[in-house]
C-alpha cells in the first residue's frame, strides 16, 4: 500500500518492541514512507531497522537523546542529508515516572518533564522550518489519557502529557495557514513492553485492568500506530489541533 508514498517521516523512541514507536515505524514502512528512526536503545533500534529493511522498507537509524537540543539538530541535519526533506514528525519517545507527589523528588519530576514535554518542544521547533520549505507537514505528538484525566501516582507524567496536549493545539494554530498540521494521540492501557513488565511484577493487576476497560481488553500497539498513520496521511489533511483517544472507552466512563 502507499498512503505515505513519497513522504519522509522521523519517529523517535522506535526501539522497544512491542512498543508504539516500533509499531508506527513498521506501519509507516508498509505504507511507503522513507523513515528515520531514533532511540537511546541502540540494540532495539538496530533490530527495528533490520526488520524494516528485510520487508523492503527504506530506513536509516541512529541514537538520539531527545532531551538534548544538539542531538535534535544533528538528527534533522542527517534527515535532510539522507532523504532531502521532512514531511512527518512523530514525537513518541517517553518515560513514565510513577510516584505519589509527596515522595517524588524534584530530580524525578524534572526528568519526566524533560523526556516527555521538553523533547516535544525541541523537536517541533526544529521541524517546522523544514516543513515550511515543503509547504506542508504533519506533527503527531504522543500524549496519554493521563493528559486528559487524573490518575493517582502519575502527577509528573500527567503534567508532561497534559502539556503535550495543549502545546500541540497551540502549534496547530500557529502553523495552520502554512498547512503544517499538529495533533495529539492519547493512548490508554496498551500491551507494550512497559505494560508487560508492570504486569509481570503485579500479575493480579492484569484482570483488574482489563475489567476497568469497557472493551474488556488492553489495546495493541498497532491500534495506536494505525491512528498515527491516519494523522500522518493526506486523509487527515483537514485535521489539526485535535486530540485522538485510543483507549477502548476508558475515558468515556
DSSP state of 149: S
DSSP per-residue string spanning 1-30: --TTTT-EEEEES---SS-HHHHHHHHHHH
Looking up cell 542531538 gives 71
> Cell 531514533, residue?
38
DSSP annotation of 235: G
Residue 86, C-alpha cell as written in the block: 521532512
* Cell numbers at 69, concatenated: 537540543
**Catalytic (active site) residue 206:** no
Secondary structure element (H or E) that encloses residue 146, with its range? none
Grid cell, residue 129, equals 522550518
**CA–CA gap between residue 115 and residue 82 (Å, rounded):** 26
CA distance 75 to 90: 13
Residues 83, 109, 157, 244: which is the catalytic one? 157
* Buried-exposed string 108-120: b where 16+ CB fall within 10 A, e elsewhere: ebeebbbbbbbbb
Residues annotated as catalytic are 157
Amino acid at each position: 500500500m502507499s498512503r505515505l508514498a513519497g513522504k519522509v517521516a522521523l519517529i523517535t523512541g522506535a526501539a522497544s518492541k512491542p512498543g508504539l514507536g516500533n509499531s508506527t515505524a513498521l506501519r509507516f514502512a508498509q505504507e511507503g514512507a522513507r523513515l528515520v528512526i531514533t532511540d537511546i536503545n541502540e540494540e532495539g533500534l538496530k533490530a527495528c531497522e533490520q526488520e524494516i529493511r528485510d520487508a523492503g522498507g527504506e530506513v536509516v537509524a541512529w541514537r538520539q537523546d531527545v532531551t538534548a537540543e544538539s542531538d535534535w539538530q544533528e538528527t534533522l541535519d542527517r534527515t535532510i542529508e539522507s532523504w532531502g526533506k521532512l514531511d512527518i514528525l512523530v514525537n513518541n519517545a517517553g518515560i513514565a515516572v510513577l510516584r505519589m507527589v509527596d515522595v517524588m523528588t524534584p530530580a524525578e519530576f524534572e526528568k519526566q518533564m524533560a523526556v516527555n514535554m521538553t523533547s516535544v518542544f525541541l523537536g517541533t521547533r526544529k521541524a517546522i522550518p523544514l516543513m515550511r520549505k515543503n509547504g506542508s507537514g504533519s506533527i503527531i505528538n504522543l500524549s496519554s489519557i493521563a493528559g486528559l484525566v487524573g490518575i493517582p501516582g502519575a502527577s509528573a507524567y500527567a503534567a508532561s502529557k497534559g502539556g503535550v496536549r495543549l502545546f500541540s493545539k497551540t502549534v496547530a494554530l500557529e502553523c495552520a495557514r502554512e498547512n503544517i498540521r499538529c495533533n495529539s494521540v492519547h493512548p490508554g492501557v496498551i500491551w507494550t513492553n512497559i505494560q508487560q513488565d508492570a504486569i509481570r511484577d503485579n500479575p493480579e493487576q492484569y484482570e483488574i485492568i482489563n475489567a476497568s476497560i469497557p472493551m474488556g481488553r488492553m489495546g495493541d500497539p498497532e491500534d495506536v500506530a494505525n491512528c498515527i498513520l491516519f494523522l500522518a496521511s493526506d486523509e487527515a489533511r483537514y485535521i489539526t489541533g485535535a486530540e485522538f483517544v485510543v483507549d477502548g472507552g476508558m475515558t468515556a466512563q
